[in-house]
Amino acid sequence: MRQGTVLGLYCFALIGESLQTFAKYLRSVPSLHEAEPVWSAPQDTVCIHIQRGELVYLGIVSQEVPALEVLELLEGVVLALVEYIGHLSELTIKENFATVYQLLSEMVDSGSAVTTDTSVLRGLVPVPSLVDRVIENVSGIGIRTEKRPDVNTSSTPWRSQGIRHTNNEFFVDIVERIDATVGADGSVVSYDVSGDISCKSRLTGMPELLLVMNRADAMDDVAFHPCVRTSKWHAERVMGFVPPDGQFKLASFHIATDAAPRLLPLQLRAAVSRQSDQSHTIEISADAGQSGNKLVEKIQVRVPLPAQAYNIRVQCRAGTHAVSNVRLPQVEWSLKSLSPADRGARLTIQYQVRAPSAAGTGAPQLSPSPGSSQSALAAFVDFEVAGYSVSSIKVDSLKMLVESYKLFKGVRYVTKAGSFQLRF
């Protein structure tokens, strides 16, 4: 498939007929973003998927399994594949098929999830070298090592003994996502903030770290990496842990509703008008909002149009635009960045709608009222603000115990759009 290649997890009782049916379902929806993440197939199976980039990761289950468990597994599969082979695409998956096969075999056994922790997987599946990849691509045969990597059976299976680094570093990334629905006048209809704490560890020995957050009480529904001592968190709201080596997700969290002011880094407004029964105009304005005086970057506004839309004309003040018609007509507006001082970024879309013929007469029908399937209903928005925490949650301190060497540490904050919609 051009718009999203489907990768099926064979270990979830993958049935060819269900896979074909799911592929047809994806082609039938207006956009891959609108496909249901949990979809019941006619063959008494359930297709559960996530989309990352151009790929769709699919698990097909034939028994009663919690959907969130499968979604969490698919997320872990993506993170593991990224760490092993880097950028994921249809080509890189094919080039590293042997590694992908071995990883799936270790992550899932007889249809049950085992582990997606890359620190554990590195002790089971060797990271392929450049020479291994070249030989595999030329010969088509996967490289198997004569000696299987040692399996860590200690009380900290996520960290091996005897790790040494020349530079001892520990970096923390706090990435927050805003899920919001905004009305045409800019008012906030719904609002939610969630986030991930991701780390990169290059530390010698067996260090124990203490991470203190400034607003730990505002963090709700926290899910931790197995390395975190949850008893210490519940007692003191402090994260104590022996970190894995390399990259890992320390925790994911949700911001309590009463602790999250409804701050929008990007202010959007829309005006929809009709010049005639078939002629429509949409105007969207974008300004930097409450972003801590930081640039709002990587702005993408996607406006799906009705299937009957034609003669689409677009004008934009600032940024670039593109009109595509792969599944349904849609307009994509891209802005490199917006600063608090920038004003006047505007997108204007004019289009006409073909009215269906009246049954039995051949006379044209009047276009349906606004809000029907012949009117654009919403715009889908992406953006990113580097160096900004929308929830004001920050690292208060990071201390190392046991080991005595000098620790280089850094913290980075990023706020992104999650499921962000502008309703017309």
**Would 169-178+189-261+389-415 and 266-386 be classified into the same CATH topology?**
yes
Separation CA 195–CA 421 (nearest Å): 19
Structure tokens at 302: 């996607």
Separation CA 369–CA 416 (nearest Å): 35
- Domain spans of the chain, in order of start: 5-139, 169-178+189-261+389-415, 266-386
Q: Which fold has domain 266-386?
A: Immunoglobulin-like (2.60.40)
User: Which tens digit of pLDDT belongs to each residue from 275-323?
Assistant: 877 889 999 999 999 988 899 999 999 999 988 888 999 999 889 999 9
Q: What is the pLDDT averaged over residues 251-277?
A: 87
Banded model confidence at residue 82, pLDDT cuts 50, 70, 90: confident
Q: What is the pLDDT averaged over residues 336-360?
A: 80
Higher model confidence: residue 327 or residue 64? 64
Higher model confidence: residue 203 or residue 109? 203
Residue 402 has pLDDT above 80, yes or no: yes
Q: In CATH, what is the architecture of 5-139?
A: 2-Layer Sandwich (3.30)
* Main-chain phi, psi angles of 398, to 5 degrees: -135, 115
DSSP 3-state of 57: strand
What local confidence, expressed as pLDDT, does residue 33 receive?
A: 74
Closest-CA residue to 263 (of 380, 393, 172): 393
What local confidence, expressed as pLDDT, does residue 5 receive?
A: 54
Separation CA 67–CA 78 (nearest Å): 17
Banded model confidence at residue 129, pLDDT cuts 50, 70, 90: low
Q: What is the pLDDT averaged over residues 349-375?
A: 56
Separation CA 57–CA 100 (nearest Å): 13
Q: Give the burial class of 385: count Cβ atoms within 10 A of its Cβ; 0-12 exposed, 13-18 middle, 19 or more buried.
A: buried
The owner of tokens 């780390």 is 199
The H or E element spanning position 121 is: helix 118-121
Banded model confidence at residue 343, pLDDT cuts 50, 70, 90: confident
What local confidence, expressed as pLDDT, does residue 164 receive?
A: 92
* Main-chain phi, psi angles of 21, to 5 degrees: -65, -40
Give the DSSP per-residue string, 1-24.
--S-EEEE-TTTT--HHHHHHHHH
Q: What is the pLDDT averaged over residues 61-76?
A: 86
Separation CA 156–CA 135 (nearest Å): 35
Closest-CA residue to 286 (of 186, 390, 416, 417): 186
Q: Give Cα 129 to chain centroid, integer Å.
A: 28
Give the DSSP per-residue string, 155-202.
S-TTS-TT---SS-EEEEEEEEEEEEEE-TTS-EEEEEEEEEEEEEEE
Closest-CA residue to 214 (of 406, 389, 12, 34): 389
Distances in whole angstroms, Cα of residue 379 to Cα of each of 189, 319, 421: 14, 16, 6
- pTM over the 0.95 mark: no
What local confidence, expressed as pLDDT, does residue 315 receive?
A: 93
Q: What is the pLDDT averaged over residues 415-422?
A: 94
In the chain, pLDDT over 70 holds for what percent of residues?
Answer: 84
Q: Which fold has domain 169-178+189-261+389-415?
A: Immunoglobulin-like (2.60.40)
Residue 372 has pLDDT above 80, yes or no: no
- Strands 345-353 vs 309-317: parallel, antiparallel or unpaired: antiparallel
| Residue pair 413/394 in contact by the 8 Å Cβ criterion | yes
Structure tokens at 25: 């379902």
Banded model confidence at residue 137, pLDDT cuts 50, 70, 90: low
What local confidence, expressed as pLDDT, does residue 122 receive?
A: 78
The H or E element spanning position 369 is: none
What local confidence, expressed as pLDDT, does residue 14 receive?
A: 47
DSSP 3-state of 73: helix
Closest-CA residue to 380 (of 339, 328, 315): 328
